[in-house]
Amino acid sequence: MNDAASRCPSPGLVSIKTLRSLVCPRLYQETVLHVAQQSETDSADAEHRIIECLRYLYLVSAHPASLRGQFLPVEQEIDDVWHYLILQTREYKTLCEERLPGRFFIHHRSLPYGEHRQEATREQRIEAALRWLPLYRDTFGAMDEHALPYWTMAKFLRGQMGLSLQQIADLDR
C-alpha cells in the first residue's frame, strides 16, 4: 500500500504499517493471495480489503461498549476477509486476544438485515451506522478513496447524498 497515510500518518493515528503488523507476515501474505484469488482482483485491492477488515476489528476491539453487537457497517468484501481470518483459528485468537487493543475474542454472528431492521427503529439504525465514522476518523484519519467502497454508510453518504470525503470526516464537528 503506497499511499500518503501509510507513509506519514498524523501523530496518534493508527497507521497501515501498525495494522499490517497485527497479523504475522505469513498470514498477511496468505490472506492477500486468498482474497485476490477469490475476488479475482489484484494484490493491491486485496490489501485494501484486508486493511479495512483490520480497521473494522480494531474499532470493535477499541470501542466494545459502543460498537459490539452493532450491525456490520462494512460491505460483503470485508466480511469475506473476516471469515477467512476467523478460519485461521490460532492466529485469529492471537489477533483478538493479544494484538488488538481490547484484548478480547471478537465473535462473528450472522444477523440477516431483516432481523436487524425489526430490532431497531429507523433512527436507531441510522445513528448506529453513523457512529462508526467519527471513530474511524479519530483512529485512522479521514477515510480515503480506497476505504470508501467498503464502509456502507460512507459509501451511501458519498454516492447518494453527494458528500465529499472531507464532509464525511467532519460530520460530528
Nearest alpha carbon to residue 19 among 30, 5, 34: 5
Query: Residue 100 corresponds to which cell in the numbers above?
Result: 488488538
Q: How many residues does the chain have?
A: 173
Q: Would you state the pLDDT for residue 72?
A: 78
pLDDT at 101 over 80: yes
Domain ranges, ordered by start, for the chain: 12-169
pLDDT in tens, 111-145: 654 554 566 788 887 888 899 999 999 999 999 99
What pLDDT is attached to residue 121? 83
Residue among 30, 10, 9, 18 at smallest CA distance from 101? 18
| Grid coordinates given for 38 | 477469490
What SS3 class is residue 32?
Answer: helix
User: What confidence score (pLDDT) does residue 10 get?
Assistant: 60
Q: Which three cell numbers stand for residue 160?
A: 447518494
- From the CB of residue 22, how many other CB atoms can be counted at a distance below 10 Å? 19
Q: Rounded to whole angstroms, how far apart are CA atoms 106 and 36? A: 24
Most confident of 10-14, 86-90, 129-133: 86-90
The answer to whether the Cα torsion of 81, 86, 91, 92 is positive or negative is positive
Residue 154 pLDDT: 95
Mean pLDDT (whole number) for 100-120: 75
